[in-house]
Amino acid sequence: MVASASSIESSSTSGVIVAEDGIPLKAKLARTTRRTRLRALLLTMPLLLFLVITFVIPIGQMLLRSVNHTAVVNVVPNFAVAIQDWDENDSEYPSEELIKIFVQDLARARKVREVGKTVGNLAVRVNYEIPGTASIFKSAARKVGKFEDENYREQLFALHKKWQNPNLWRTLKRISHAYTPSFYVAAIDRQYDEQGNIVKKPEKLSIYVDIFLRTLWLSAVITGICLLLAFPISFLMSVLPLKTSNLLMIMVLLPFWTSLLVRTTAWIAILQSQGVINNILVWLGVFGDESRPQMIYNQTGTIITMVHILLPFMVLPLFSVMKTIPPSYMRAARSMGGSWLYSFYRIYLPQTVPGIAAGTLLVFILAIGYYITPAIVGGQDGLLISNLIAGHMQQSLNWSLAAALGSILLVIVLFLYWLYNKFVGVDNLKFG
């Protein structure tokens, strides 16, 4: 650098400044910049690669799984191709030829043990579409080996009357693709009717949209309460001398550093019907011993516990913004005759908006993905969408539906994260 700078005088006749080695200075600078840029990028590369492998690809695969279900294509491959030529408007059932292919595919599939390619997988897949049909596939697979080599349709239809349902065959045609939107259809409480149109599910079976709305609503309530609680204490800490505010900050940070399960357990001890609060209320005579209010294992429990857990995430950004607001602004407003409320509303509040935006977005984003706390203290009506996703992953094992619900949740969260980036900036995230 020093050498090239000293040789600037030796600029060529064309007016381009050239370094000692004859390379234009501009090009040299560009090269140095490129090198430093590359070095910066290289430093982040190991982590970037790590996260792509352990985080981005797994989530991408999950997104893929929500539209990709290969059971039909894998178990009855020939039939899955052939049935696409069948026009369900022309005939009630597929042709004898097609059913023969189906029966042969089924007979072959019976011997397969590979996960994802067994008759059981096919039965489960069809069962998602038409509940109560899993067993006819399993029993048919056991019996098709003994079929005579003619009248396949008759023999199959004789096994169970459900085979005679034209809707079964129409559904089979619809799901005989590797890629299917049907899990998203199910995730928004819709289903296919007999004609293959997407219609609303009956009220009794609709749950997901309600739970999504409930998740958004509860998260909004929790965020609102957090803001209401965080604002006064952040303000207090921002005007107190540093020594006192540091002490108070510890009271905010200690819950932040304490295990989530510990805090949830603590709230069980406090809120349960034999818990601390109820005992005090009964002792004070507010409630009779028999009529203790239910404060946990329902929505109330979820809200109280989650507010407690997420409050620090609201206090920290609010406090760091309030700290920078000079107190003289409020004094000036007051001295010019504004009432306390008016000055607060017109002078102080607008300056805290960055902190409010950062806190609310962060708390809301974290709240809509919560799983552990609602699972422990939520009871039935305090469950959130994450709990349903986990339920489909671990109990009902409908992984594609779990992936579809997860993808919808992910889109909502990423949209909020984008908002956060746009208005707050991810660089401004700080703890303590």
Tell me which of 257, 287, 329, 345 binds another protein, using CB under 8 A. Answer: 257
SS3 content of the chain, % helix, strand, coil (to 5): 70, 0, 25
Q: Is 227 in the site for another protein (CB under 8 A)?
A: no
Kindly report the three-state secondary structure assignment for every residue of 6-53.
HCHHHCCCCCCCECCCCCEHHHHHHHHHHHHHHHHHHHHHHHHHHHHH
Judged by CB under 8 A, the chain residues 18 through 47 that form the site for another protein are 33, 36-37, 39-47
Tell me which of 18, 156, 270, 333 binds another protein, using CB under 8 A. Answer: 270
Q: Is 344 in the site for another protein (CB under 8 A)?
A: no
Tell me which of 7, 167, 279, 298 binds another protein, using CB under 8 A. Answer: 279
Q: Is 340 in the site for another protein (CB under 8 A)?
A: yes
Number of Cβ atoms within 10 Å of the Cβ of 387: 18
Q: Is 427 in the site for another protein (CB under 8 A)?
A: yes
The answer to whether the CB of 70 falls within 8 A of the CB of 178 is yes
Looking at residue 324, what DSSP letter applies?
T
Tell me which of 261, 332, 349, 353 binds another protein, using CB under 8 A. Answer: 261
Judged by CB under 8 A, the chain residues 137 through 176 that form the site for another protein are none
Q: Is 338 in the site for another protein (CB under 8 A)?
A: no
Give the orientation angle of helix 399-423 with respect to helix 349-368, to 10 degrees: 170
CA-to-CA distance for 126 and 331, rounded, in angstroms? 71
Give the dihedral sign, CA 378/381/386/389. positive
Q: Is 5 in the site for another protein (CB under 8 A)?
A: no
Q: Which stretch binds another protein (CB under 8 A): 84-92, 101-109, 195-203, 397-405?
A: 397-405
Shortest Cβ 322–another protein spacing (Å): 12
Judged by CB under 8 A, the chain residues 303 through 322 that form the site for another protein are 308, 311-312
Number of Cβ atoms within 10 Å of the Cβ of 399: 16
Q: Is 251 in the site for another protein (CB under 8 A)?
A: yes
User: In the stretch 60-79, what mask flags binding to another protein with x, by CB under 8 A?
Assistant: xxx--x--------------
Shortest Cβ 265–another protein spacing (Å): 5
Q: Which stretch binds another protein (CB under 8 A): 96-104, 188-196, 295-303, 408-416?
A: 408-416
Q: Is 260 in the site for another protein (CB under 8 A)?
A: yes
Provide DSSP, 234-290: HHHHHHS-HHHHHHHHHHHHHHHHS-HHHHHHHHHHHHSTTSHHHHHHHHHTSS-SS
Q: Is 429 in the site for another protein (CB under 8 A)?
A: yes
Tell me which of 73, 122, 211, 409 binds another protein, using CB under 8 A. Answer: 409
Kindly report the three-state secondary structure assignment for every residue of 406-426.
HHHHHHHHHHHHHHHHHHCCH
Q: Which tokens sit at 26?
A: 């501009």
Place of tokens 């706390």: 373
